Structure 1
Amino acid sequence: MITGKNYIGSQLLASGDKTFKTFNPQLNIENPWQFTEATADEIKLAATVANKAFLSFQKCTGKEKALFLRTIAEEILALGDSLLDVYCQESGLPRGRAEGERGRTIGQLNAFADLVAEGSWVEATIDTAIPDRVPLPKVDIRKMMRPLGTVVVFGSSNFPFAYSTAGGDTASALAAGCPVIVKSHPMHAGTSEMVASAVVKAAQKTNMPEGVFSNLNSSGIEVGVQLVQDPLVKAVGFTGSIKGGRALYDLAAKRPEPIPVFAEMGSINPVVILPEVLKQNSEKWAGACAGSVTLGAGQFCTNPGLILAVKDENLKVFTEQLASEILKIAPSCMLNPSIHLNYKVNNQELSSQIGVQVVAAYDESENPNYALQKILTVSGKDFLENPVLHKEVFGPFSIVVQCENESELVAIINKLEGQLTGTILAEDNEIDNFESVVDALGNRVGRIIFNGMPTGVEVCPAMVHGGPYPSSSDSRFTAVGIDSIKRWVRPFSYQNWPDAQLPEALQNENPLGISRLVNNVQTNNPV
């Protein structure tokens, strides 16, 4: 049941007078539920109860947090088809996508449960004392990761499950021992409330402290601004636009106590096609690129918005094949009329730039919120000289850049802003001859792909979903995979502390049996 209220801990509150509804982009009508935006007092209450919860939640054992996370997963599944129905009504995404994304969310929760149950993630490091060291004695120093405090998570528009209420940011923060306040995305507030009910129920079942999780409604920016500025909030997780992420980053930096904002933002994910693969396999890769550009109406942060290659007859053939393939694919629904409008505006802005030619443009659709895919082409010189062409267009859109030679190709890569991914399409032995291209691309991205499309982010320990600014606000961290827990912790040392008073991870006998670095040797043994 959707109430339209705000979860503040286990309480459902709605004392404000500002209300809004979500929208069904497939039917082009408002959904029936009405949501009440959180008031300033409710926001402050959520921060207050989260801060109180932190005092005990940070001391929960790994096994206790693991049970909490696994129970969240169980409660989400228990919501059944009703949750999937609301997801589809609020996003316009198909049922199969809803099921797949729910599965990914469940997998993320269980992966973090496994991580904290085992326990070695805290990176326990022990340097034992040497009291008779000359000329000065060495003290006993022991270090491990410690949670930051309350984390605010901003739900993303394009992943109502996996990057939202109980998605990767929330799962990793809870695993770290940080209470979470979710600012739900206004486009899928109903989905968020239902998932929040599962989290709250799991918290109650596993005896987590009241206030360990809250979910607040918002129709604009005011709720998010107040949350980021609240002195009890200690970190922020965000997935969305460069404009939104940068605004939050600046707000957090201007606080009397600045806090980290881990924002995954814009990316055009360049695909570099080397000459021999264009000669041998252009038709295959034209089809793959068309499928990747249009997948999910192009509403993925790893959508390939830029295709780079050296100009020759083979590139001309590839571009024609890409145009043909892109027009074979039926348009699909975007998440919301506002996203659809932004796509049309940005699409038209880039299409009207000097030197740009339209290669293919799908120009018919009976559905009002369906994105019409488009492929442009431009010379390397014009691309280099016009920063507007470097702009991300969120939707099924890509530009083929015709470079004069390898030097211009490298110059273009070097001129790009930071990206989440970069792709090289090449024959097996061809890549050895383009070291400068590979090196340049590696310096601009967080993940480099060989002979594959960038859409699709495997949730696994080796995945890096981040990159140089502005693809993310801090390229040292990933937003996907178990290492994303490192965003919500800080290193903390104990000096000459009594063994019995140390956290179990640092005690001499190693009661948790975890792997630790003891006097520069990795071991599970006692000290």
Structure 2
Amino acid sequence: MATSEMTAVFAPHGKHLIAGEWVGTEQTFRSEPASGPAHDFSVGTPDLVDRACEAAEAAFWSYGYTTREERAAFLEAIADEIEARGAAITEIGTQETGLPAARLEGERGRTTGQLRLFAFHIREGEYLDRRHDKALPDRKPLPRPDIRMMQRPVGPVAVFGASNFPLAFSTAGGDTAAALAAGCPVVVKGHSAHPGTGEIVAEAVQAARERLGLHPGVFSLVQGGNRKVGEALVTHPRIKAVGFTGSLGGGRALFDLCAARPEPIPFFGELGSVNPMFLLPEAVAARGDAIAEGWAGSLTMGAGQFCTNPGIAVVRADQAQGFAEATKAALAKVGTQVMLTDGIAKAYRDGTARIAGGTGVRELLTTTCDQRQASPQLFIVQGSDWVGNHALAEEVFGPLGLVVTVADEDEMIAVAKSFEGQLTATLHMDAGDAALARRLLPVLERKAGRVLANGFPTGVEVSDAMVHGGPYPASTNFGATSVGTMSIRRFLRPVSYQNIPEGVLPDDLN
């Protein structure tokens, strides 16, 4: 077992983890923490990417054929080692991101919890989707051979750390955990917003790997570097799939590179979503103020820096004024919050200006945001001005809300149909709204990966039934999820075994 939680101050050494060795480079970059000291980190290079990818391929020939128990033990060991470094992770994570300690501690629990859940899931074996068509030698006019099928790992996987989740969607987050559970070595491109957090989590993975005697190429971390480093990673011939959470522009560029390779590979990118809420009349009449209060809380949680941030509320025009005023009052109580990076803060200011300049848009609550600070913003627009104005439907990463008013049920349906792909869509409804909800549900399930009622989407449960994905541009593969046990399936492919003797078949098929 791992040692008890370490309490010593963590001092980053600023190196990359390449095939079990900590490697430095001459060029460095300096972190830009929200508070506390800055640190120097080695800059990644295409050469380091090549070394990591070749090591991952070498590791696949052993790790890809480990037992489910061996991989489950690895996932659990990583969780143990992360928890052993809990205090140090919280310290540097809060400094780098500006997130409060309670948020980092909760995210750490989510990270270790999903590692342990995936361990349990692969031990059960259902994810293999094993099937067996027994031989029918006497079938006429032709006999049927014995055919077995199960899922097999695809090979080395590239993972890009996310800016807004330094633990749960980064170094040992959901993409890494899913790939390792599937039997795929991982090369992580760390996010420069939290390199110290990435380094200490990589130390935890390294300690777990060493404890279990696994091949050193099973996990590597490349820090920093310009766009060429990311391009080198997704175009490397050893990489067979990519997991990404980030901006639409950056993700689309990497997606296009994956498709243009001599051997195209799947790119599982989560790119952007405004997560619309549809407020049905009976629910607004009965509890509109409570819905407004809940929306304000969800909208400003973590300075609005969640991919499931519900940025749009669609409401009937005759109910919109009261709902908007209640939302404004709730948002006015929220102070400024520190954003993850200066770049994200600037993008929030630019996005606010874009929304404010839209045709027919009226300001309800606006404030000035300085440097890395963010304050809530609230706007309102008629549905007739909303439909067809693509700029109003683009994600603003931060605590900005837009109320879209509609004249009647038909216009609400038309607005729903105008949305692009989303991670989530929400119905706020009472019993008397059931008929309208039934009209909306076929539209929303076509638009989103998760449809919820009478809640807020900023909580994403890590479970068997969760889908965190959706039609483009929410994600680049609508058949996949980046959260929950089904996320493991992204890094597997089906293989049929025809008339293979039992003594030769993989152990999982015997």
CA-CA distance at 1:82 after TM superposition: 1.2
Does residue 1:358 correspond to 2:367, yes or no?
Answer: no
Counterpart residue number, 1:20: 29
Q: Which whole-Å CA distance do the structure 2 matches of 1:129 and 1:138 have between them?
A: 5
CA-CA distance at 1:401 after TM superposition: 0.5
What is the CA deviation profile of residues 408-459 of structure 1, one whole-angstrom value per residue up to 9, with x for unaligned ones? 1111111111000000111123122442222212211111110011111011
Where do 1:257-272 residues align within 5 Å? 257-272=263-278
Counterpart residue number, 1:466: 469
1:9 alignment partner, one of 12, 19, 22 = 19
CA-CA distance at 1:196 after TM superposition: 0.4
Counterpart residue number, 2:344: 339
Equivalent pair of 1:21/1:33 in contact (CA under 8 Å): yes
Counterpart residue number, 1:291: 297
Q: How many residues align?
A: 500
Does residue 1:487 correspond to 2:490, yes or no?
Answer: yes
1:218 alignment partner, one of 224, 233, 236 = 224
Counterpart residue number, 1:406: 409
Aligned identity (percent) is 44
What CA RMSD, in Å, does the superposition of the two structures yield over aligned residues? Answer: 1.2
Q: Which whole-Å CA distance do the structure 1 matches of 2:80 and 2:389 have between them?
A: 51
What is the CA deviation profile of residues 338-397 of structure 1, one whole-angstrom value per residue up to 9, with x for unaligned ones? 10011001111111122110011244x7x7421011010001111113111111100000
Counterpart residue number, 1:277: 283
SS class of match (1:2): coil
Amino acid in the other structure paired with 1:73: A
Amino acid in the other structure paired with 2:146: D
Equivalent pair of 2:409/2:436 in contact (CA under 8 Å): no
Equivalent pair of 1:23/1:89 in contact (CA under 8 Å): no
Equivalent pair of 1:418/1:468 in contact (CA under 8 Å): yes
Does residue 1:438 correspond to 2:441, yes or no?
Answer: yes
SS class of match (1:499): coil
Equivalent pair of 1:9/1:200 in contact (CA under 8 Å): no
Counterpart residue number, 2:335: 330
Counterpart residue number, 2:63: 57
Counterpart residue number, 2:430: 427
CA-CA distance at 1:478 after TM superposition: 0.8
Q: Which whole-Å CA distance do the structure 2 matches of 1:481 and 1:35 have between them?
A: 32
CA-CA distance at 1:219 after TM superposition: 3.8
Does residue 1:348 correspond to 2:353, yes or no?
Answer: yes
Once the two structures are overlaid, the 10-residue window that deviates more, 161-170 or 399-408, is 399-408
Does residue 1:372 correspond to 2:375, yes or no?
Answer: yes
Where do 1:230-269 residues align within 5 Å? 230-269=236-275
Q: Which whole-Å CA distance do the structure 2 matches of 1:437 and 1:263 have between them?
A: 27
SS class of match (1:500): coil
Amino acid in the other structure paired with 1:61: T
Q: Which whole-Å CA distance do the structure 1 matches of 2:506 and 2:225 have between them?
A: 43
Counterpart residue number, 2:390: 387
Consecutive unaligned residues in structure 2, runs of 5 or more: 1-10
Amino acid in the other structure paired with 2:308: T
SS class of match (1:464): coil
CA-CA distance at 1:195 after TM superposition: 0.3
Counterpart residue number, 1:83: 89
Change (3 A) 1:434 1:462: closer
Equivalent pair of 2:282/2:432 in contact (CA under 8 Å): no
Q: Which whole-Å CA distance do the structure 2 matches of 1:54 and 1:468 have between them?
A: 31
Counterpart residue number, 1:168: 174
Equivalent pair of 2:386/2:392 in contact (CA under 8 Å): yes
CA-CA distance at 1:241 after TM superposition: 1.0
SS class of match (1:186): coil
Q: Which whole-Å CA distance do the structure 1 matches of 2:226 and 2:311 have between them?
A: 28
Counterpart residue number, 2:112: 106
Q: Which whole-Å CA distance do the structure 1 matches of 2:410 and 2:27 have between them?
A: 56
1:310 alignment partner, one of 307, 313, 316 = 316
SS class of match (2:338): coil
Counterpart residue number, 1:498: 501
CA-CA distance at 1:130 after TM superposition: 1.1
SS class of match (1:187): coil
SS class of match (1:233): coil
Where do 1:21-36 residues align within 5 Å? 21-25=30-34, 27=35, 31-36=37-42
CA-CA distance at 1:220 after TM superposition: 2.8
Q: Which whole-Å CA distance do the structure 2 matches of 1:216 and 1:500 have between them?
A: 41
Amino acid in the other structure paired with 2:76: R
Amino acid in the other structure paired with 2:207: K
Q: Which whole-Å CA distance do the structure 2 matches of 1:448 and 1:80 have between them?
A: 34
What is the CA deviation profile of residues 202-243 of structure 1, one whole-angstrom value per residue up to 9, with x for unaligned ones? 011111112000000114322111000110110000001111
Does residue 1:319 correspond to 2:328, yes or no?
Answer: no
Amino acid in the other structure paired with 2:86: G
Runs of 4+ in 1 over 6 A off after TM superposition: none
Amino acid in the other structure paired with 2:27: K
Equivalent pair of 1:327/1:362 in contact (CA under 8 Å): no
Q: Which whole-Å CA distance do the structure 1 matches of 2:509 and 2:73 have between them?
A: 23
Equivalent pair of 2:334/2:375 in contact (CA under 8 Å): no
